[in-house]
């Protein structure tokens, strides 16, 4: 059975950085998602309990099976690959366990380094996914953008992550911008570049017997982008996602309307088609 997961949805409402938990549950109930991960920046949220309860309530009314809810956190990672400049990246840690309001993991230290992340993973079993890794790529013009492509590729192959988001809808604005202008081409090219990087790293890791799963998420800060980008995996139950991440058996999927004039642009990008599946 093919299952669908969105492993990166925000419910942090401070500063409009997330979705109201009730509104999120109602949105998810209108999609085909089987699994979602609810999170906040740099801290553990108990709003996952609210989302889960509302999904169950809606299921009792509609008869539709409720999507399962994973606990997760989005953290900030400080990384350096031998250069003078520190890079700054985001990751999502998906917890294997469920928690309660009174029994939950510690927050991840803001801009903790690789050693801190390794300790965190040892304390709280789960899978760690590199999130929208190219969002701060340094272009030589803006000194605030600290992440070089070389550093990003090095981090992707460092062993800190079990998976990487090839597609992040909020980051590339697939659903936030009208896809009938240059923005859509730019978004496709951004995914293509990340897919190429991922393919190079995957080949190197494969030779060392290490896997890296391709993922896709909404990075949902707004209701309307949830459901259009997701990760597919095969399993009998939603908890099988952990094994499929370990086996790199996941697939990044974009299920949004693609204007006819851009279908050729997508088709010409072989690296993109090898990693990402377009449903429409």
pLDDT digit string, tens, across residues 69-91:
999 999 999 997 766 678 889 99
Instruction: For the chain, 280 residues long, give each residue's pLDDT as a single digit of tens.
Output: 999 999 999 997 665 678 999 999 999 999 999 999 999 988 898 999 999 999 999 999 999 999 999 999 999 999 977 666 788 899 999 999 999 989 999 999 988 999 999 999 999 999 999 998 877 665 555 555 578 888 888 999 999 999 999 888 755 554 444 444 455 666 667 777 788 888 889 888 988 888 999 999 999 888 888 988 899 999 999 999 999 999 999 999 887 665 555 555 555 566 666 677 766 5
Reported as type and span, the H/E element at residue 9 is strand 2-10
Reported as type and span, the H/E element at residue 170 is helix 169-172
Nearest in space to 74 (alpha carbons), one of 150, 10, 144, 159: 10
Please state, in angstroms and as integers, the Cα–Cα distance from residue 120 to each residue in 82, 106, 261, 265, following that order.
Answer: 23, 9, 46, 42
Exposed e or buried b per residue across 33-53, where buried means at least 16 C-beta atoms within 10 angstroms of its C-beta: bbbbbbbbbbbbbbbbbbbbe
Domains of the chain: 2-278 (3.20.20.140)
pTM as predicted? 0.89
Angle, vertex CA 193, rays to CA 188 and CA 199, nearest 5: 120
37-50 tens-digit pLDDT: 999 988 898 999 99
- Give dist(CA 250, CA 245) in Å, integer: 6
Would you call 121 helix, strand, or coil by DSSP? helix
The strand order across the sheet containing 68-79 reads 213-217, 163-168, 126-131, 87-95, 68-79, 35-39, 2-10, 229-234, 251-254, 276-278
Nearest in space to 43 (alpha carbons), one of 100, 98, 107: 107
Would you call 215 helix, strand, or coil by DSSP? strand
Dihedral sign computed on CA atoms, order 189, 195, 196, 201: positive
Contact call for residues 217 and 228 (beta carbons, < 8 A): no
């Amino acid at each position: 059975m093919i299952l669908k997961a969105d492993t990166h949805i925000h419910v942090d409402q401070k500063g409009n950085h997330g979705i109201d938990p009730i509104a999120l549950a109602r949105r998810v109930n209108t999609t085909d998602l089987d699994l979602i991960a609810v999170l906040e920046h740099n801290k553990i949220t108990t709003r996952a309990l609210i989302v889960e309860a509302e999904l169950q309530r809606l299921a009792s009314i509609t008869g539709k099976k409720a999507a399962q809810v994973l606990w997760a956190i989005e953290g900030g990672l400080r990384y350096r690959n031998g250069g003078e400049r520190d890079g700054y990246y985001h990751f999502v840690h998906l917890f294997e366990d469920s928690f309660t309001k009174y029994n939950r993991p510690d927050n991840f230290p803001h801009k903790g380094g690789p050693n801190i992340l390794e300790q965190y993973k040892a304390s709280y079993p789960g899978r760690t996914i590199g999130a929208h890794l190219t969002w701060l790529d340094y272009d030589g013009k803006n000194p605030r953008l600290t992440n070089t492509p070389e550093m990003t590729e090095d981090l992707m192959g460092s062993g800190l992550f079990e998976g990487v988001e090839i597609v992040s809808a909020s980051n590339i604005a697939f659903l936030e911008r009208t896809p009938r202008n240059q923005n859509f081409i730019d978004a496709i090219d951004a995914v293509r570049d990340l897919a190429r990087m991922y393919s190079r790293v995957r080949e190197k890791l494969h030779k060392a017997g290490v896997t890296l799963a391709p993922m896709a998420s909404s990075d949902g800060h707004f209701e309307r982008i949830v459901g259009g980008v997701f990760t597919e995996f095969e399993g009998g139950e939603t908890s099988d996602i952990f094994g499929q991440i370990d086996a790199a058996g996941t697939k990044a999927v974009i299920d949004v309307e693609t204007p006819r004039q851009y279908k050729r642009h997508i088709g010409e990008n072989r690296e993109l088609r090898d990693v990402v599946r377009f449903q429409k």
